[in-house]
Amino acid sequence: MLGSGSSIFTDADDYQAHLSLPMELLVVQPGHFRARLTWVGLPRIHLLHAQEALSRVAFVSLPPDQVFITFPTDQGSRLVCDGVSLQWGEIMFHSPGERFHQRISAPGAWGVISLTLPTLMTYSRILHGWHLAIPSRGRILRLPLADRRQLLQVHGQAARVAERDLNRLAHPEVARSLEQDLIVALVTCLVSGEPRNIPASSSRRAGMLVQFEEALAASPNAAPQVSEVCSVMAISERTLRASCLQVLGMSAVQYLWLRRLKQARRALQHAGSASEAGRDVITRFGFADFRQFAKAYRKAFGELPSGDASEESPHARRRSLLF
């Protein structure tokens, strides 16, 4: 997403499409989705601030040419990466191209800062005299109090400008000052942060869940059973269930159920209002009973399945404050 701005979303797919952090998102908590997303695009650094009202899980696939840092932005929010909960005062230093699962408990607020690898290397050398070591896998860093406060302060300041007075970001001096403050605060945190030890078992489970996603992606329009996926992965159902509970916060059966509901919803929106097409979609994703499907759909999305929903523009489902 280019530029800067802030929007309120009432549709999870629309919200997902506007995240510059590439992810496939599943809402876990039933109800009406609502989130506010603020983004700031500066020449050398970008940031997001997200506030979400429902619990969800997401599979994130980062681009290989950028470095991302994620963190909770208030003390009450619980941000979980690959089954490991970030404590207040910690950040996740992701490796370029990393794939991982992220989840939050509702309500939750979290932030992202991203920049290119050459930019990070240049500024780390300028500010501290050496190139930072980039982790091969996401690393949790515990920050000194003063550095954490500074990072949250400048991140929050940039988000507030985008939410309340976008015109200020059009002034080169304001944008340059914000950018410099963000880069200095970020590099300082990456240098001073103390790595947190993550058990090898957690890393193995996280890797297994990436393979799980790959197995599911191989048949995007199918509704595989857990036993079928385990056969492809050559693991036991018990092993997959334990890994899913740790990383996703739910069993593999529950995850596949939510995934099928989301797939069916997307397909119904594209199918239009034809009842035959709708029933074909429902059958394709493994729902034999229409009443059972309608009940589960309403519980998950706060609405009944209807072809009419596909005629509604995504822009009508959100209040836009774009710049």
Pairing label, strands 46-52, 35-41: antiparallel
Along the 323 residues of the chain, how does pLDDT read in single tens digits?
468 999 999 999 999 999 978 899 999 988 889 999 999 999 999 999 999 999 999 999 999 999 999 999 999 999 999 999 999 999 999 999 999 999 998 799 999 999 999 999 999 999 989 889 999 899 999 999 999 999 999 999 999 999 999 989 889 999 999 999 999 999 999 999 999 999 999 999 999 999 999 999 988 777 788 999 999 999 999 999 999 999 999 999 999 999 988 888 888 877 765 565 677 777 778 787 788 888 888 888 878 886 443 334 444 344 333 32
Task: Please give the C-alpha separations between residue 106 and each of 54, 79, 89, in angstroms, as whole numbers.
Answer: 5, 10, 19
Q: 317 lies in a domain? A: no
Residue 152 is assigned to a structural domain of this protein: yes
If asked whether residues 158 and 41 sit together in one domain, one would say yes
Helices (H) and strands (E) in the chain, counts: 10, 14
Among 198, 229, 250, the domain boundary falls at 198
Burial environment of residue 64 by CB neighbours within 10 A (0 to 12, 13 to 18, 19 or more) = exposed
Task: Tabulate helix, strand, coil % of the chain (nearest 5).
Answer: 45, 20, 30
Q: Specify if 92 maps to a domain.
A: yes
Burial of residue 31 (CB within 10 Å: 0-12, 13-18, 19+) is middle
Whether residue 10 contacts residue 34, with contact meaning beta carbons closer than 8 Å, is answered with yes
Pair 217, 134 in one domain:
no
**Preceding omega of 107 cis (within 30 degrees of 0):** yes
Whether 88 and 187 share a structural domain: yes
194 and 206 share one domain: no
Q: Within a domain: residue 323?
A: no
Are 283 and 259 found together in one domain?
Answer: yes
The answer on 98 and 235 residing in a single domain is: no
pLDDT of res. 318: 41
Single residue among 198, 230, 253 that ends a domain in this structure: 198
Could you tell me the CATH number of the domain that includes residue 78? 2.60.120.10
144 and 272 in a common domain: no
Same-domain check for residues 238 and 102 = no
Same domain (yes/no): 126, 244: no
How many Cβ atoms are within 10 Å of 255's Cβ, its own excluded? 23
How many structural domains are present in the chain?
2
Which structural domain, as residue segments, surrounds residue 57?
Answer: 5-198
Confidence at residue 285, expressed as pLDDT on a 0 to 100 scale: 81
Same domain, 100 and 229: no
pLDDT at 117: 94
Q: Looking at the structure, tell me whether residues 30 and 167 fall in a common domain.
A: yes
Report the pLDDT value the prediction gives residue 312, as an integer from 0 to 100. Answer: 40
Write down the pLDDT at residue 300: 84
Residues 267 and 158 grouped into a single domain = no
Tokens standing for 138?
Answer: 């996401």
Question: Model-level pTM?
Answer: 0.88
